[in-house]
Structure 1
């Protein structure tokens, strides 16, 4: 029985194929999340709207070039064992896109932590900004180092950069999740409905951070333990989709703001009150007191989380 450490069809192109299949499934989920976001939160700030669009475009391009890489390895280069040793341009490019997507999502999370920290006068926002900036620096290094090698066996020379990038990404996820949960917990008050929404946001934050961190660690350990296989590539294919999906899920987990009353609805309410007054002039208990105005439901407030 061949060892897992030795490259075979199963743990090279087979693993890459499974990674693309999983990526395609997650891409369908993120596309559905994007549609739901624009349908439910059409009045969101421009930062959220543009970020969702850019992330979805990058995610689409990432899936396209990973499909290209697997197609070349399995169809165009069928039976070419020597070709499996070369790193395709699409593999190198998908690493760069992966770095951009991960750092963009982490920056958006850091921005939310920064806003929450501003409300509470905390310093965790500065810590999150510092670790994300460190992630940017390491991401640039890994993207450059990957372009300097031509064969997979040459990755040993830049293995430190690969491990540093994945480890830093995991650390950033933990720091962001911890900071957001800390500030969200401090935001709890006496309102039950608001506390329920905050608890739900904390659950989404922890679960998304757990999934992305687990995927980053899996990619790192699979590269350390099985460097001659494509298992780490298959896991990395999924990483981009998990980051995009986690951010979309965070946005969609919010409660949709209620639409303000239109002039037609207000006129309809006024006419109903007039009809009630003419029908029952003697029953003053059913009419609102002049000293006590009728309650009015204001449009839903958009909280920073």
Structure 2
């Protein structure tokens, strides 16, 4: 699934730079940064899967019980992508709300990246998949950090979706019918993308809580960063369709 989503990312990035050549430099740099981080993570995922599934830990059976360097390394770029995309949406809310709501969303988003950094550091110190039983202190610390990361992400994503929808709904009350239809389209998109990411996060958290000591959640984690990147790119590329709907070349 991760390579498939990465392929979609490639298509979306290509479309973005072909269509929106006049976008601000800061926005282009953010897209490039998110794409490079996603590419870096995909390379690390590919190496990790090769190491475990093809190379069979280079013939060392004990290697299956430990996280290799590429598995550990893919955590941080993925978390940075989460924060970048969330920051992108929060800044939009900052503009629409005149800074009233955005401050509240920055708190869980910032806590998420802090917990992620600590989690990566702790996992580097204790990279075992099998040696840590559920009562071990190291296991409890890692599990607690993982739960904190996902909880912060869920709170942030739900806050973004709800805030964006409310702000746009309030704006539609004072708009013409043509603009109101466009705003309703944006609201539906905000709810759809926010709900999808939130549902995946909730499933991920459920796996962590219901299946302790297993690595079932890893498959979901590999795709979450790509869902974030594609969410942002889809919104940026969707401006072209919205422009057509408006019948003008105004930028949203």
Q: Does 1:187 align with 2:171?
A: yes
Instruction: Note the 1:44-63 alignment, pairs <5 A.
Output: 44-63=23-42
Deviates more, 1:65-74 or 1:215-224: 215-224
Which of 91, 95, 100 is equivalent to 2:71? 91
Q: Does 1:174 align with 2:158?
A: yes
Deviates more, 1:150-159 or 1:195-204: 150-159
TM-score by length of 1: 0.73
Q: Secondary structure at the match of 1:217?
A: helix
- Distance in 1 (CA, whole Å) between partners of 2:12 and 2:177 is 28
Q: Does 1:208 align with 2:196?
A: no
* Counterpart position of 1:31: 10
Deviation at 1:299, TM superposition (A): 6.8
- Distance in 1 (CA, whole Å) between partners of 2:221 and 2:200 is 8
Q: Which has the larger radius of gyration?
A: 1
Q: Runs of 5+ in structure 2 lacking a partner?
A: 133-137
Q: Deviations over 1:25-54 (max 9, x none)?
A: 001111111111112211111222111111
Contact kept, 8 Å, 1:170 with 1:216, in 2: the verdict is: yes
Contact kept, 8 Å, 2:112 with 2:148, in 1: the verdict is: no
* Counterpart position of 2:135: none
Instruction: Note the 1:1-305 alignment, pairs <5 A.
Output: 22-77=1-56, 80-118=60-98, 123-153=100-130, 154=132, 156-157=139-140, 158-188=142-172, 189-255=174-240, 300-303=249-252
Q: Deviations over 1:95-118 (max 9, x none)?
A: 111111101111111111101111
Query: More helix by proportion, 1 or 2?
Result: 2
- Distance in 2 (CA, whole Å) between partners of 1:138 and 1:105 is 17
Deviation at 1:241, TM superposition (A): 0.6
- Distance in 2 (CA, whole Å) between partners of 1:104 and 1:80 is 38
Q: Runs of 5+ in structure 1 lacking a partner?
A: 1-21, 259-297
- Distance in 2 (CA, whole Å) between partners of 1:197 and 1:32 is 25
TM-score by length of 2: 0.88
